Amino acid sequence: MSAHPLEPSREQLSTWFRQVETTVLDHLDGMATADSGGPLGEAGLALADEVSTPLPDEPLEGGLTEVLRLVGRAAEATLNTTSPGYLAYVPGGGIPTAALADTWSNVFNRFTGLAAAAPALCRLEADVLTWLAHEFGYDDRARGLLTSGGSLANFSAVVAAREKLLGEDVDLRTATAYTSGQVHHCIAKCTRLAGLPFANLRQVDVDDRWRLDPDALRKAIAADRAAGQRPFLIVASSGTTNTGAIDPLPELAAIAKEEDLWLHVDGAYGAAFVLCDEGRRRLEGLGEADSITFDPHKGLFLPYGTGCLLVKDGEDLRRAHRVGASYLQDFDALDRSREAPSATDYGPELSRDYRGLRIWLPFMLHGTRVFRETLAEKIEVARYIHDELVELVEGGAPLEIVAEPQLSIGAFRLKRRDGESLDDWNRRNTRLQDGINDRQRVRLSSTNLPVHDGAAFTLRTCVLSFRTHEEHGRKFLEDLRGALEDLT
Amino acid sequence: MSAHPLEPSREQLSTWFRQVETTVLDHLDGMATADSGGPLGEAGLALADEVSTPLPDEPLEGGLTEVLRLVGRAAEATLNTTSPGYLAYVPGGGIPTAALADTWSNVFNRFTGLAAAAPALCRLEADVLTWLAHEFGYDDRARGLLTSGGSLANFSAVVAAREKLLGEDVDLRTATAYTSGQVHHCIAKCTRLAGLPFANLRQVDVDDRWRLDPDALRKAIAADRAAGQRPFLIVASSGTTNTGAIDPLPELAAIAKEEDLWLHVDGAYGAAFVLCDEGRRRLEGLGEADSITFDPHKGLFLPYGTGCLLVKDGEDLRRAHRVGASYLQDFDALDRSREAPSATDYGPELSRDYRGLRIWLPFMLHGTRVFRETLAEKIEVARYIHDELVELVEGGAPLEIVAEPQLSIGAFRLKRRDGESLDDWNRRNTRLQDGINDRQRVRLSSTNLPVHDGAAFTLRTCVLSFRTHEEHGRKFLEDLRGALEDLT
């Protein structure tokens, strides 16, 4: 019907939608038995060369079929973050129904940065954020902001804290923030982006379970005050990436109160567990924080591109982000007091994708209970893996457990041999990890953790995909045993 | 097949995909005759109350049908940013084929923050960014970053400039940046987010075509240097939101060079016009900038959520954003030198949506020529509107042209009557705008522009949707004439 090439006919578009539908449904059919990642390294680079295609003046020959072939090939060289055996980094399940929301959002393409321009759509987003805020222990003063991920959520929290406690008239070289050495590296990036020198993010010691040590924190703050610095922010983790450690939130909240500091909790990986009873118990004190980051693209199993910041007193966030503009004046004639909050008043963006629908629609379509139950199951699977590891160790396997899961991440490694050099030990652990991953059923990733003479290569298991069940924990344990045998 | 509720059966998912397909195709069928926005204000608030639905424990009764009904209702109270008569703010066409990309990305859900984890997918994204960088006048040293929109692209540019020219050891209260008073308000937000006091973004005078005045800029820089401040950044606009003004890029580039400052160009709205011959002529000097923001969700007609930053020397961007982490060590074993650039090394995000496919796929499916031609047509439609306005004025209509389109934005208003108060004048212009918008065929938005005794309400026309053709310009002119008659 339409003459413009960017507005294909209904028939053409329908054909294209069906092609993509078939592609993704076929892909999902294979998911239960999918391995956890194709070739990276050399093979991946070769594949990159293979699929790279000069941008054509005219439509690519072969049309969408060829386009999907190229992208499908490209996907062969990836970590399969959505596969059930993926226990590396933090899994990203990507529930398929989120695609329904994005298809609607892309085609309707409404501007949702200001509630005045789309009051009812922004209300649906606000409904989700309000619900989440209450689940996390906040009251109606709270405000939420959907971001592309945890990094930008953490950044907006840092900015809100800076704005509230330091204001404009301060030399940021005197401002100091506190976190554990186990925190996600994006916190260092965030404080630097916000104008602090890297060194002003103080790394405080942790206890034997990798949790920020409150006494060490007190001392660090006191030392900085004595030196004329201006402490303003504590960043705790509720589930570190390395070992899943939950910092002692109630104690940290008390310190923040005494010292008049902002307490932010980076729960990008772990805070969503508050939605299930067991997780809520373990995350005691979370609601006392001034702000919380959590990633719906992790703990709510959504596709990448969905982070969330919750701030206990929404006005703190608004004051740090609201800027007016003359070309937006038409909206000022409307009654803003009864509107849903506008994302642009609470974060750095103006135009943005309508992220709200991506959460709202799956909650509506599946209900909230299944999310709670699925999170509870992840804790159980992680517990199962841990119990089996303990049994292995007790049975004489040359392993040591480095971190018992505080939520769904655990860490372990080969025990160091008497007199073994750090390098040799790390090499053995690297080989152990390769031995597991090369079996292509589960995938682990590693980290470094401090030991007396350096940093020890340590294996992690992170259970978070909605597709990962006890059977995949069992596969991991089988492959661990196999890899251990191969090592000896 | 699958037992897990978050993994519906193939049949169920297919049914859902088809329902959404029908919804969006029906919506597109009505687009050619769609009006430019449903009820906002009171009616919008009422609709927000109507659609608001408590988050259910169990799947919502009525399932996806009810979900789509609610969202469809909610969409009735929105600015229809995608309709052909939408000339307000900056239109967002949202080419439907972008939805194909997001459906694939959502379901495959690959981690594309680090090229090592998805080398071939990241290569496709890099291919688009390299192509764009060349189109914008950059060479192979350039790097691009896809963001959620112009605000965050501008922010990363500010940070790169701050990092390169000031480094860590500076009191940011002494750092100053320069822009015109016509710049987008997000620049003030960006510099504040990056740690500068608001006042340190100096607003320099403009000439009679709303372009930053190079002489005034020189004076402002000299004054700051004399006062001990540390100038580091000029932010020019290539297409202001207010009037579409293009700052004099060659002169500004020369000043930046002389003064050793970073020149950033905010071309969120306008820089994409470089893809067509006429636009490239008008944007002379763009490639001399150190960095350029442009929004594919504006000038490439993509759905919201797709911004882009291009930096002439990619290393400047990388140095401002690269932070390592022990839990990413597995990637360090790979050969990074031959990989595509990793988004996380060049911007604030780690996990993020796979934005690259959203641009790559439409370019492949439609070819690049149609994008160039469509942009050229927008300049022509804006020129047509301007010529007709000139004729109206010459024929005695009580209008004044405030800004002739430098790209595709124009501005005009009722002429002020002798002795008329500013308030009365502004009220008459508000009524003129309402008179046009109430006809529901086209939609304009307004801005304020300085006059000797304050700020004058000024109407804008922004032609940018791929759906907006000369016929819609004609409708606007008919409705303008009608509204003018109604006023008298």
DSSP assignment of A303-315, as one string?
Answer: PSS-EEEEESSHH
Rg (CA), chain A: 24
d(C-alpha A337, C-alpha B181), whole Å: 29
User: Could you list the mean pLDDT of each consecutive 10-residue stretch along chain B, which spans 488 residues?
Assistant: 82 98 96 78 93 98 98 94 94 94 97 94 98 98 97 98 97 98 92 96 96 98 98 98 97 98 98 98 98 98 97 96 81 79 95 96 98 98 98 98 98 98 98 95 95 97 97 97 94
Q: How far is B390 from chain A (nearest CA, A)?
A: 23
pLDDT band at A41 (very low <50, low <70, confident <90, very high): confident
Q: Which position has the token pair 């209970």?
A: A369
Q: Please, where are the H alpha helices in B166-197?
A: 186-193
Q: How far is B297 from chain A (nearest CA, A)?
A: 9
* Binary contact (A364, B109; C-beta < 8 A): no
Mean pLDDT of A461-480: 97
State pLDDT tens for residues A281-327.
999 999 999 999 999 999 999 999 999 999 999 999 999 998 877 77
pLDDT of A1 over the 50 cut: no
Token pair of B159 as six digits: 């940070």
d(C-alpha B356, C-alpha B53), whole Å: 34
Token pair of B160 as six digits: 């790169």
Contact criterion met (CB below 8 Å) for B127 and A49:
no
Mean pLDDT of A130-158: 97
d(C-alpha A335, C-alpha B42), whole Å: 8
How many Cα atoms sit within 13 Å of B367 on the Cβ side? 13
Q: Which position has the token pair 């990074």?
A: B336
* Binary contact (A329, B171; C-beta < 8 A): no
d(C-alpha A170, C-alpha A179), whole Å: 21
Residue B118: closest CA among chain A residues belongs to which residue? A78
Q: How far is B243 from chain A (nearest CA, A)?
A: 10
* Binary contact (B123, A155; C-beta < 8 A): no
* Binary contact (B368, A56; C-beta < 8 A): yes
Q: What pLDDT does A2 receive?
A: 52
Mean pLDDT score of chain A, rounded to an integer?
Answer: 95
Chain B residues with CB-CB distance to A105 below 8 A: 303
Chain B residues with CB-CB distance to A123 below 8 A: 48-49, 51-52, 74
Contact criterion met (CB below 8 Å) for A343 and A352:
yes
Token pair of A5 as six digits: 């090439």
What contacts B29, CB < 8 A, 6 or more positions away?
A: A10
In the sheet that B291-294 helps form, which strands lie side by side, from edge to edge?
B143-147, B307-311, B291-294, B262-266, B230-237, B175-180, B201-204
DSSP letter for each residue of A239-279: S-TTT--B--HHHHHHHHHHHT-EEEEE-TTTGGGGGSHHH
* Binary contact (B173, A169; C-beta < 8 A): yes
* Binary contact (B82, A109; C-beta < 8 A): yes
Chain B residues with CB-CB distance to A17 below 8 A: 17, 21, 25, 99-100
Contact criterion met (CB below 8 Å) for B35 and B441:
yes
In this structure, chain A runs to a length of 488
Q: What pLDDT does A322 receive?
A: 87
Chain B residues with CB-CB distance to A339 below 8 A: 45, 48
| Count of Cβ atoms closer than 10 Å to residue B219 Cβ | 13
* Binary contact (B98, A92; C-beta < 8 A): no
* Binary contact (B361, A71; C-beta < 8 A): yes
Q: How far is B141 from chain A (nearest CA, A)?
A: 19
Chain A residues with CB-CB distance to B36 below 8 A: none
d(C-alpha B382, C-alpha A171), whole Å: 47
Q: Which position has the token pair 């329904």?
A: A100
Contact criterion met (CB below 8 Å) for B82 and B28:
no
Encoded amino acid at B369, one letter = R
Cite the beta strand spans of B30-171 per DSSP E. 143-147
Residue A50: closest CA among chain B residues belongs to which residue? B120
Contact criterion met (CB below 8 Å) for B289 and B300:
no
Task: Give the residue from B221, B227, B184, B225 showing the smallest Cα distance to B202.
Answer: B221
Chain A residues with CB-CB distance to B18 below 8 A: 21
Residue A80: closest CA among chain B residues belongs to which residue? B110
* Binary contact (B75, A108; C-beta < 8 A): yes
Q: What pLDDT does B2 receive?
A: 52
- Which region, left, alpha or beta, applies to residue A151 given φ > 0 means left and ψ of -120 to 50 means alpha? alpha
d(C-alpha A193, C-alpha B353), whole Å: 21
What contacts A111, CB < 8 A, 6 or more positions away?
A: A117, A118, A351, B78, B79, B81, B89, B92, B304
In this structure, chain B runs to a length of 488
State pLDDT tens for residues B210-226.
999 999 999 999 999 99
Q: What pLDDT does B1 receive?
A: 42
Q: Please, where are the H alpha helices in B320-468?
A: 329-332, 343-346, 355-366, 369-394, 422-437
Q: What pLDDT does B39 receive?
A: 72
* Binary contact (B119, A44; C-beta < 8 A): yes
- How many interchain CB pairs under 8 A, A with B? 526
Question: Testing the interface with B: which of A24, A108, A431 to mutate, by most B Cβ within 10 A?
Answer: A108
ipTM of the complex: 0.97
Chain B residues with CB-CB distance to A173 below 8 A: 169-171
Q: Please, where are the H alpha helices in A30-85?
A: 41-51, 63-76
Phi and psi dihedrals of B445, rounded to 5?
Answer: -125, 170
> Cα–Cα distances in Å, from A318 out to A141, A267, A321, B196?
12, 21, 5, 18
Contact criterion met (CB below 8 Å) for A308 and A132:
yes
What contacts A476, CB < 8 A, 6 or more positions away?
A: A85, A87, A385, A436, A441, A442, A444, A461
Contact criterion met (CB below 8 Å) for A36 and A442:
yes
Chain B residues with CB-CB distance to A241 below 8 A: 325, 327
The full 3-state SS of chain B, as one line of letters, equals CCCCCCCCCHHHHHHHHHHHHHHHHHHHHCHHHCCCECCCHHHHHHHHHHHCCCCCCCCCCCHHHHHHHHHHHHHHCCECCCCCCECCCCCCCCCCCHHHHHHHHHHHCCCCCCHHHCHHHHHHHHHHHHHHHHHCCCCCCCEEEEECCHHHHHHHHHHHHHHHHCCCCCCHHHEEEEEECCCCCHHHHHHHHCCCCHHHEEEECECCCCCECHHHHHHHHHHHHHCCCEEEEEEEEECCCCCCCECCHHHHHHHHHHHCCEEEEECCCCHHHHHCHHHHHHCCCHHHCCEEEECHHHHCCCCCCCEEEEECCHHHHHHCCCCCCHHHHHHHCCCCCCCCCCHHHHCCCCCCCCHHHHHHHHHHHHCCHHHHHHHHHHHHHHHHHHHHHHHHHHCCCCEEEEECCCCCEEEEEECCCCCCCHHHHHHHHHHHHHHHHCCCCCECEEEEEEECCEEEEEEEEECCCCCCCHHHHHHHHHHHHHHHHHHC
Q: What pLDDT does B190 receive?
A: 96
* Binary contact (B71, A361; C-beta < 8 A): yes
Chain B residues with CB-CB distance to A364 below 8 A: 53, 55-56, 59-60, 67, 70
Rg (CA), chain B: 24
* Binary contact (B60, A10; C-beta < 8 A): no
* Binary contact (B103, A107; C-beta < 8 A): no
Beta strands A399-403; A409-414: pairing state: antiparallel
| Count of Cβ atoms closer than 10 Å to residue A20 Cβ | 25
Token pair of B75 as six digits: 């969409």
Q: Which helix (H) or strand (E) holds B154?
A: helix B150-165
d(C-alpha B429, C-alpha B259), whole Å: 43
For residues A327 and A461, the model is more confident at A461
d(C-alpha B440, C-alpha A238), whole Å: 51
What contacts B266, CB < 8 A, 6 or more positions away?
A: B150, B154, B183, B184, B187, B235, B236, B237, B238, B293
d(C-alpha A237, C-alpha A241), whole Å: 9
Residue B132: closest CA among chain A residues belongs to which residue? A55
Contact criterion met (CB below 8 Å) for B209 and B406:
yes
Chain A residues with CB-CB distance to B68 below 8 A: 104
d(C-alpha B402, C-alpha A150), whole Å: 44
Mean pLDDT of A393-402: 98
* Binary contact (A107, B94; C-beta < 8 A): yes
* Binary contact (B467, A4; C-beta < 8 A): yes
Provide the 3-class DSSP secondary structure of residue B388: helix
